[in-house]
Structure 1
Amino acid sequence: MAPLRPFRLLKRLAPRDLMARSLLIIVIPLVLLQIITAYVFFDRHWDIVSRRLNTAVASEIGMVVRILRTYPREDVQEWAFSVARITQGLVFDFRPGARLPEIPPSQSDPIERALSRRLGGYVPHPFVIDGRPGAANLVVHMQTTGGVLSVEVSKERLFTESIFLFVFWMASSSIVLFGVAAIFMRNQVRPLLRLARAADAFGKGREAPDLKVAGATEVRQAARAFIAMRDRIRRQIDQRTAMLAGVSHDLRTPLTRMKLQLALLDGVDGVDDLRADVAEMERMVDAYLDFARGAGTETAAETELGALLHDVVERHRRSGGAVALTVPRPIVLPLKRQAFERCVGNIIGNAVRHATRVEVHATARPDHAQILVDDDGPGIPAAQREDVFKAFQRLETSRNLKTGGMGLGLTIARDLVRGMGGEIALLDSPLGGLRVRLLLPL
């Protein structure tokens, strides 16, 4: 496998959600700025301050050493030691005849290394520095002609704590700024999440609470556009439902009168054929209305899938269909009960009509429920499986509604399933016929 390009690797490692990406956009420049500022400041500040402090201490030590070298009397030595201790905080000690102790130079203590570099220009004698790890002072031993001259120096004179204060305030301010940015971004992302949840619920045909318009101008504009779109769709559904109710009433009224008149003509030749025509017209009207009505204005409610499937299967069993049902465990999900019963009824009815054996199996997945309807019938060729979802598309070319139907069963089924946020597909069945797979979001 070829190695990933750098930008593809960064894209894969980048977070997916908007808030994390927005915070990353804020944090990366902030961290880079802090690193660059800290590096530049520390490099110059540490070097300048350390050089000046160590130069001052080294010059003071060098001054005392040169005084003693020029005036090697004992009274001058006591005077110089006393002045250095009182005015400069340097504690001198002289050991006549002593030899310079063997102390290896430290490679890790920056204070000791900085002082060592400065002493070389001010002290004319060989010297070693005893850093004393953990101690508050260090000792400089110098080999003079008469013995070893030692001076004890406080480490506080050789470095400043302002660097650590700078690091503390820099880190603290960064944390505070990051917290403020996180709170601000969360408040900006929250309206987007509410809008996404409302759109998802509305797309699945579920009742969602009213969306609160909040957030930035662009987010408010998107929320208002969604609310306007949702209201227009609801008005269209209500208008279509009202229109269909009127159409249903107008069509059924003359059919009812015709049925009453035919009942008065019992025994007349041709009445039975007219009755069959009227019944056929009723079935056609019902099919047209079911197709046009779709999911209607029914509200989704929490439903136990196994019990609902059992009711539908039992109706087909009473009609003589051989239908087996398997639901391993209870599955509860939001459904439009009447719409789902109509959908599954159409699918199982098609299977019973064309096959001798039908099996229904329902399972729950992490994010959706799956319903499989298998039969041992002739099936549908793969090239024609998409065509059967088209309205009034019939594979059986005769006009006999008992064998071919109206060509609306699968059309209505897919319309209802998609109205609940699901999907329907036609596959090959292990029984040798057709498999209808329904996926419904949990």
Structure 2
Amino acid sequence: MILVPLVIVQAVALQIFYGTHLDIISRRFALAISGEIATTVELLQRYPSPEDRVWILQNAWRQWEIAMRVEPGASLPRGRRASLIGPVDDDLTGSLRQRLSLPFSIDWASDPVSVLVRVQLPDAVLDVQAPRKRLYTGTIYLFFLWLVGSAVLLFIIAALFMRNQVRAIRRLAAAAEAFGMGRDIGPIRPEGATEVRQAAAAFNRMQERIRRFLQQRTEMLAGVSHDLRTPLTRLRLALAMLPAQEELREDITAMTADVEEMERMVRGYLAFARGEAIEQARLIDLSDLLKDVAAGARRSGTEIGLDLPGELTLRLRPDALRRAITNLVDNACRHAQRVMLAATPIGVRNVQVTVDDDGPGIHPDHREGAFRPFESGKDGGTGLGLTIARDIVRAHGGDITLEDSPLGGLRARILLPV
């Protein structure tokens, strides 16, 4: 934002200087040199005697400080001499063509301090050593030095300034990304420009409000847990103390099942809520975690296969993620005979975990609704398993989708960031 406009302004100024001022000065210098050469040529042609030629060449040195000599019987060599890029070469060539009716050549490369001009006379060649300093102006070099120096200096200043600002913005973005994945990074130090510091301070306040909300939610749910478990315990005791009459056996069994289901609902959701508020993310081997989940499923009598890479190290909340994957595996085990658990790296930034089964699956129109709380479906479950699993995965920065499985049933696909 600072460097580019400055360079453009200086480039425009250079173009104006190069196209007008330098061009005018170059033409004037070339006209002066060419006029002195043309005057000398006319005098040599008008006074061809050797004595006159000596006087004319000496006078040219005294008056104009141009070294000249005559080579009798010589002729101009064929071929082009080295030229110069810029207006000076073209201006000198054009001026000599206007003032001389004789052939000539200009050599810019042979002598570092002079420009060699050779003019073909009728019986000789006039060698002219025109000083380069009479054809150039030093202001153009000063202007170029100012252009390059100021651009480099401003680029260094702008680079240092922008690096500090970008570093602060990147740190804020990384903190927001980590906090969105459930990693407690603590408050960040505001730095950089005033606006960036304000954004960092607002982010710290947001973190504190969210932590306070999670703590209040956990405390509230702990109170709800106590309030709900007390009457549920009394109900369970009352059912256990009822007389074992045959006509009441079926009703007692149904009521006991209802009480147990309510206890599972409360216990599952409260465990999820407490884990989200307390557990911190750490580096774990995802493959080992999936092996533990599969081992737990096998202990319940389910056939479950594994397809895992050697090692997948991710920063996760292991208990929460184990709960999410266990919920998916339990759902698959209730509806299928065969379950497949797999993990695959996706590029360098993501890992995919899939839970496949050969059960009846879910209709595509109903798959998104299965994630809503208390969508029990046909199995009569509590309807919190998929909801809790998606909340946990999204808290890690990933997501869960339901798809058709290659085994013929349902696939739950988890995408986790590395």
TM range (shorter): 0.7 to 0.9
The 5 Å alignment of 1:13-412 reads 25-67=1-43, 75-95=51-71, 98=73, 100-103=75-78, 108-109=83-84, 111-120=88-97, 122=99, 126-131=102-107, 133-136=109-112, 137-143=114-120, 147-256=124-233, 265=241, 268-269=244-245, 274=252, 277-278=255-256, 280-291=258-269, 293-294=272-273, 295-297=275-277, 298-365=279-346, 366-396=348-378, 403-412=379-388
Matched letter for residue 174 of structure 2: R
Partner Cα distance (2:122, 2:349) in 1: 90
Structure 1, unaligned runs of 5 or more: 1-24, 397-402
Aligned length, in residue pairs: 409
State whether residues 142 and 149 of structure 1, in contact with CA within 8 Å, keep that contact through their aligned partners in structure 2.
Answer: yes
CA drift of 1:243 comes to: 1.2
Partner Cα distance (1:146, 1:344) in 2: 105
- Greater shift, 352-361 or 303-312, is seen at 303-312
Deviation digits for residues 160-196 of structure 1 (CA, Å, limit 9, x no counterpart): 3543443233123212212221221122222221111
Partner Cα distance (2:233, 2:152) in 1: 78
- Greater shift, 87-96 or 50-59, is seen at 87-96
Asked whether 1:421 is paired with 2:400, we answer no
- Greater shift, 378-387 or 134-143, is seen at 134-143
State whether residues 107 and 113 of structure 1, in contact with CA within 8 Å, keep that contact through their aligned partners in structure 2.
Answer: no
SS of the residue aligned with 1:234? helix
State whether residues 106 and 113 of structure 1, in contact with CA within 8 Å, keep that contact through their aligned partners in structure 2.
Answer: no
- Greater shift, 154-163 or 66-75, is seen at 66-75
Matched letter for residue 427 of structure 1: E
Structure 2, unaligned runs of 5 or more: none
CA drift of 1:271 comes to: 8.1
CA RMSD for the aligned pairs?
3.0
Partner Cα distance (1:134, 1:73) in 2: 31
Matched letter for residue 392 of structure 2: L
State whether residues 236 and 256 of structure 2, in contact with CA within 8 Å, keep that contact through their aligned partners in structure 1.
Answer: yes
Deviation digits for residues 131-161 of structure 1 (CA, Å, limit 9, x no counterpart): 1633233443445566544433233322335
- Greater shift, 299-308 or 69-78, is seen at 69-78
Matched letter for residue 203 of structure 2: F
The structure-2 alpha-carbon separation of the partners of 1:104 and 1:346, relative to structure 1 and needing over 3 Å to count, comes to closer
The structure-2 alpha-carbon separation of the partners of 1:306 and 1:69, relative to structure 1 and needing over 3 Å to count, comes to closer
Partner Cα distance (1:157, 1:355) in 2: 98
SS of the residue aligned with 1:231? helix
The percent identity for this pair of structures is 42
The structure-2 alpha-carbon separation of the partners of 1:166 and 1:261, relative to structure 1 and needing over 3 Å to count, comes to same
Q: TM-score, normalised by structure 2?
A: 0.86
CA drift of 1:262 comes to: 6.3
Deviation digits for residues 247-270 of structure 1 (CA, Å, limit 9, x no counterpart): 21233234445556766x497445
Deviation digits for residues 70-113 of structure 1 (CA, Å, limit 9, x no counterpart): 666655543443343245321222345x3643555658446554
Matched letter for residue 81 of structure 1: L
CA drift of 1:238 comes to: 0.2
CA drift of 1:57 comes to: 2.0
Partner Cα distance (2:118, 2:355) in 1: 95
